[in-house]
Structure formats: structure tokens, C-alpha cells
A = this chain, B = another copy of it.
Amino acid sequence: MNKGDNEEINPDFVTRLAGFLEFDEGRIQHLFEKNYLARNWGKHDYLFRFDKEISRIERGTVFYEKDESFEVIMGFPKIRRAMVLDPTLRKHFSGLEKIAVEEKMNGYNVRVAQVNGEILAITRSGYICPYTTERANVKLNLKFFDDFPELVLYGEMIGPDNPYVPKEIYGIESVEFYIFDIREKNSGNPLPIQKKHEILDEYGFLQVRSFGEIPLETAAEEIAEIVRKLGEEEHEGVVIKDPDMVLAPLKYTSSQSNCSDLKHAFKFYNEAGRDYMLSRIVREGFQTVEWDENEAEFKKRCMQLGESILSPLRESIRSIKNGQRLYEEARIRVKDPKTATEFENYLKRLGIDAVFEEPQSIGDEYLINIKKINKSTNDKTQAILEGDLW
């Protein structure tokens, strides 16, 4: 696996980049050696990414040379989580009258921007995904990027043809891009929410659902109600924002979203992060206390938690016992079969073991089913079932 191509960085480039970032040259050199700064490969090899957070520049931030200097597309700011709504909202947003509430959708984070005249889809980690890039070019009103070359769309790719996080729950036939932020290149500054809505409306972009502005005073209660309802539809939760986008947003999720994460994690129990699992479990504890649930509600929550953990575990162990291999099913829909080939190579380069089936023609596009293999859980489970010790 080779995720980048740092060999050919020349000294002059290092000097200019050091000047631009206001880092020592030695530090830049070191970051390249450690692959914390990494050059993309292939036709996008003019693009560099931060593979680690450095001096408060988010991981996934990308940059490239432009007009004898550099242009930067900042990464997704990590949104911190309220474990309880009250007093967290009052404390975090203190001084505001109202806060804006938007749905947190369950998709694949992507930034879309014009870079050297091309429209690129940049992943959370700072890669250029060829599939997402093709979809963005097909689905989005590209006039926006000509009118605002200095702006970047921050959104989620959502739907069943999203090969990373396939979801049927939103009633989308293939994939769509739901935008949640517009930010400036270089500074990374977000537009205020009102301004964002105006522009997104004007160009006809899909937007994550807005629950409007809510008085801070009653927000904890109202948001609990919103999240409960979202949970009933298996939706994920909300992001709570300062309408001026000065204070950092917070997120808060439904129990169903925690359980859904756990279902996926325990299907591939040997791959999933321990902290990932634990945090989702602990959230259930805080939510049941904050929502002051009665015993019937609590029992229901226990059962849901237990089933979210044990059902996928049992399913995985049974499958392997029956001689099957575990895999994740995914699907893409492309205009150009070349995009599928490029995407296959891209996944390979990222170390993801995926089998692409034959394309099926559908309208003027092609559907391709993909099986992503999770080797570690497969091998571990098989070994245990054959008598290996833990």
C-alpha cells in the first residue's frame, strides 16, 4: 500500500511552502518524511494533504500551488459532542439568544471545490475520490463554482449508491449531495447560516434539513424532542450551530444512531475501534439519565443495546462457521465505466480489499456491486472456531 508519493518533493518547493505556512523548513522536511504531509498520486499529484493535525490545521486539509503561492482547502472541523444537552448547550453557546439546529445526516463527508479548473470531491482525509468526483460533477449545479471559485461546499454524499456508508433510510434512489456548510478557501471561514441558505437555494443545492433557530433557553428540551423523533425514523441526530458561525458547532445523536453504529462495529468486531464502541455505549447511559426514563423505557433501551451488540456478533460468527466470508456490500452507479476502474484502483491504493462485480447497465449509467472484505474479523473468527485460544 502506498498512499502518496513524497519522493519527488524538491527543495525549492519546501522553501516556498515553509514561507507560506510560516513553519521552519526543517519542520516541513520532517512532516514530509513522516508522511504527515503527503502528496497525492496520479493525475492529482499537484495536490497535498495534511495526514495529521498539525498546529491546529485539521487533518484532511489539502493545498496546491496557485499563482506563485498556495491555495488551501481546510479540512472538516471536528464537531464536538454534547453528552448531555443541559447544561452543555447553555454553557457552550452562552451569550447567544438563539441557536440554529440542523439534521446530522448519515453519509460520507465530502468537500467539493474548483481546483485548477476541475471540480473535485475531496474526502474527509484529503483524498480525491474518483467516484465521488464523478457523482459531484453529475449531480451538482456547477455554475456555482464559476460564480464563486473561492468557496467550497461541505456536505454529505447520501444514499444507497454511496459505497462508504450506504443508507436506504433517506428515500434517495441513488446518491445525492446534501450541503451543510459553505466555507472560504484559505481561511476556512464559514458563511453565516442565513447567507448559506440563500446561496444554496439560489443554485438549487440539496441541504441538510433545518429545524430553524431555537431560543437557547428552551433548546435542550426542544432538541431532545427533535432527536427523539429523528431516532424513530432511524435518523442520526442534529448539529447545533451559532447562526453567525462564530462559535464552534456541537452534535448530539439519537439512541438509534448509537445502536446502528454498534451494529456495524460488532459485525466486524476485530476491526472496529475499542474507543468507538465504548463511546457509543456510554452515550446510552447519559441519555437514559438525562431523559429520566422509567423502567419500561430503560428495559427497552437495554434490549436494544444488547441486540445491537449480540445480533451482528452472532451473525458474523455463524456465517464464518457456515464457511462464508464476511464482507460489506456496497454499490456504485457511474456514467463512465472508467470511473469504476479508477475507483477500484483508488481503494486498492488505500489498502481496502474490495471485489468489483460486472457492471450492469441501468438507463445511461452502470450499476456495480462491490464486496469489501474485512480480513481481520474473518481470520480471527475462523481461528477461534478452529480451536485457537484468545
A residues at B contact (CB < 8 Å): 80-84, 87-88, 90-92, 250, 266, 269, 274-275, 277-279, 281-282, 284-286, 288-289, 298-299, 301-307, 309-311, 313-314, 316-318, 321, 384-390
What's the minimum C-beta distance from A41 to chain B, rounded to whole angstroms? 35
Chain B residue nearest in CB terms to A386:
B87
B84, A282: Cβ atoms under 8 Å? no
What's the minimum C-beta distance from A88 to chain B, rounded to whole angstroms? 4
Q: Please, which residues of chain B bring their CB within 8 A of the CB of A387?
A: 82, 84, 87-88, 90-92
**Given A306-B304, A387-B90, A389-B88, A278–B289 Cβ distance below 8 Å?**
no
B279, A278: Cβ atoms under 8 Å? no
B389, A317: Cβ atoms under 8 Å? no
Number of copies: 2
Between-chain CB contacts (< 8 Å), 13 pairs: A88-B388, A92-B387, A92-B389, A266-B281, A266-B285, A269-B285, A279-B390, A285-B317, A289-B317, A298-B314, A305-B306, A306-B306, A306-B309
B384, A83: Cβ atoms under 8 Å? yes
**Given A384-B83, A387-B92, A310–B305 Cβ distance below 8 Å?**
yes
Q: Please, which residues of chain B bring their CB within 8 A of the CB of A281?
A: 266, 309, 313
* Alpha-carbon separation in the docked complex, A303 to B311 (Å): 12
What's the minimum C-beta distance from A237 to chain B, rounded to whole angstroms? 13
B313, A389: Cβ atoms under 8 Å? no
* Alpha-carbon separation in the docked complex, A269 to B384 (Å): 28
Q: Please, which residues of chain B bring their CB within 8 A of the CB of A282?
A: 269, 313
B269, A278: Cβ atoms under 8 Å? yes
Chain B residue nearest in CB terms to A81:
B390
A289, B386: Cβ atoms under 8 Å? no
* Alpha-carbon separation in the docked complex, A90 to B387 (Å): 8
